[in-house]
Chains A and B, each alone.
Chain A
Amino acid sequence: SQKIEQNSEALNIQEGKTATLTCNYTNYSPAYLQWYRQDPGRGPVFLLLIRENEKEKRKERLKVTFDTTLKQSLFHITASQPADSATYLCAPTSGTYKYIFGTGTRLKVLA
């Protein structure tokens, strides 16, 4: 069955450093992969999407890579700030209507 793995443990980093979050998937070939941010008690908010034929995509301080050979996406936040503290979800998507999300990685940026 399709499986998505994100670091279940929280990631603590110092302000100003680069945070790197990992999303691994197995048993399917997503056409694209999305990253969402979720704050406690709130709905996820879309951040970035990368397609299977793209290696890397950037948006301001965010960078996403997508390696279809390794079946992995890396999500980077450069010059991290305490306001970046949240849970980040990945969603590798192969179909048109069904969505599968990872359990998320909780990031805490320490001032």
Chain B
Amino acid sequence: EAQVTQNPRYLITVTGKKLTVTCSQNMNHEYMSWYRQDPGLGLRQIYYSMNVEVTDKGDVPEGYKVSRKEKRNFPLILESPSPNQTSLYFCASRDDATNEKLFFGSGTQLSVL
């Protein structure tokens, strides 16, 4: 089954403790991206990757890092999480055939205390 898999589904951590949210897709898509979703603000793009070793900033990249060492994986790294990074995070990959339609993961609910 074609899917984007994120882990963990829920994460509670404390300020300053480094964490990584993993994202993996099995569709061999070149493009992947990360979003955060907050009430009243909608989905905002954090980072995206056009292909292996190629990444760029979205609209809200501050406090986040990404890496793309393999085509299928695109982890999101929070080096020193802060409470304002408490949010619902989504990873997505894009259909290469059309370069348009996004496939989203099920989300990671992060709470930073």
- Interface positions of A (Cβ within 8 A of B): 4, 8, 32, 34, 36, 41-46, 49, 89, 93, 96-104
Q: Which residues of A are found within 8 Å of B4, using beta-carbon distances?
A: 43
A103 and B41 within 8 A (CB): yes
- Interface positions of B (Cβ within 8 A of A): 4, 31, 33, 35, 40-45, 48, 50, 56, 58-59, 88, 90, 92, 99-107, 109
Q: Which residues of A are found within 8 Å of B105, using beta-carbon distances?
A: 43
B42 and A97 within 8 A (CB): no
B107 and A103 within 8 A (CB): no
Known A34-B100, A96-B99, A97-B56; judge A44-B48 contact (CB<8 A): no
Main secondary structure of the interface of B (DSSP, over half): strand
CB of B93 to closest CB in A, whole Å: 11
Per the bound structure, the CA–CA distance linking A51 and B44 in Å amounts to: 22
A89 and B48 within 8 A (CB): no
CB of B8 to closest CB in A, whole Å: 14
A32 and B100 within 8 A (CB): yes
Per the bound structure, the CA–CA distance linking A4 and B101 in Å amounts to: 19
CB nearest neighbor in B for A42: B106
B104 and A44 within 8 A (CB): yes
A100 and B48 within 8 A (CB): no
CB nearest neighbor in B for A31: B100
B58 and A98 within 8 A (CB): yes
Per the bound structure, the CA–CA distance linking A79 and B105 in Å amounts to: 29
CB nearest neighbor in B for A32: B100
Task: Apart from A44-B102, A46-B101, list 11 A-B contacts with CB within 8 A.
Answer: A34-B101, A36-B102, A41-B109, A42-B107, A43-B105, A89-B43, A97-B48, A98-B58, A99-B43, A101-B42, A103-B40
